[in-house]
Amino acid sequence: MSEIMFWEAIRRAHDEEMSRDPMVICMGEDIGVAGGTYKATNGLFDKFGPERVIDTPISENGYTGLGIGASYLGVRPIIEIMSVNFAWLAMDQMFNTAAKVHYMSGGQLKAPVVIRSPGGTAHQLGAQHSARMEKVFMGIAGLRVVTPSNPRQAYGLLKSAIRCDDPVFINEHELMYNMKGEVDDKEFFMPLVGSEVARSGKDITLFGYNISVHWCLQAADILAKQHGIDAEVVDLYALSPLDREGIAASVSKTHRALIAEEAEPAVGVGSEIMAIINETCFYELDAPPVRVSAVNVPIPYNHTLEKAAIPTAQDVVKAVLKMFGK
């Protein structure tokens, strides 16, 4: 077991899979000579060369389509879109082509392509570089969506995604690349379906994904130490498909639920989780489920306003205390 950074875990998965299978390639802006904006492909250009580590023009729609087309012929591309904000430009290729080709071809074609992209609110990147788009991707039939919250997940999910015959979108968070965590030195894979109980508890379930998992864990510590509330934290690392059984099992255990998300609440991940809770375990609830979400505004550039627009662990604590009448 080694403690490594989030970006190092991603790079390790790239390296192992490219070494194992010559049909695995990676492509994207500045991923070659520069080693990637967040270092996730650092050193791969020197090891595997320009034919397998491809620096692309600034043309997300073009190179995403190129990678998807190559996947029809047996190539397994890992496409990096430098910022999820720029993924809007490639949505036609992802949604109308990769996600639908297996169904529309009657199973004759597959698109074993991985698309990685960082998103979320970082530090004063402005509204056009602070998108939280996971809810858009998880609404597309035929596309798997995962979002790691730690280096172990980042490694295991990418390994599994590369070997999956379905198109997989990996939603990473920009603030996590330098996060450290323990990763097994031996090769392992994480299932692309499911969730993890990051902290066991009995009084309320706090649901989070990527960065909001950490808010939930911080809030759970505060709630336990200062208020005697034992919160369970469930890490929803797979957003499509969602782990309906895992969600229901935890709520049936704690009888209360809160969903924390960095994105705006409308038509979001929290909305879908609340629908699942109402459909599967309504009569287990002791209180209505609650969402803690961003303010429904474009993310401001101003640092103070940016912070005001995004929820924190303290917001989770306040919402839980309100649920308990404290």
Domain boundaries, the chain: 2-183, 196-323
What is the spatial distance between Cα 306 and Cα 209, in angstroms, rounded to a whole number? 20
CA 18/CA 34 separation, integer angstroms: 18
Token pair 């957003």 in the structure block, residue: 239
Judge: domain 2-183, CATH 3.40.50.800: no
Query: Digits of tens for pLDDT over the chain (326 positions)?
Result: 899 999 999 999 999 999 999 999 999 999 999 999 899 999 999 999 999 999 999 999 999 999 999 999 999 999 999 999 999 999 999 999 999 999 999 999 999 999 999 999 988 888 888 889 999 999 999 999 999 999 999 999 999 999 999 999 999 999 999 999 999 999 999 999 999 999 999 999 999 999 999 999 999 999 999 999 999 999 999 999 999 999 999 999 999 999 999 999 999 999 999 999 999 999 999 999 999 999 999 999 999 999 999 999 999 999 999 999 88
Cα 317 to Cα 258: distance, rounded to the nearest angstrom: 10
- pTM for the model stands at 0.95
CATH code assigned to 196-323: 3.40.50.920
Instruction: Indicate which residues carry an active-site annotation.
Output: 60, 129
Please report how many Cα atoms fall inside a 13 Å half-sphere around the Cα of residue 139, on the Cβ side.
10
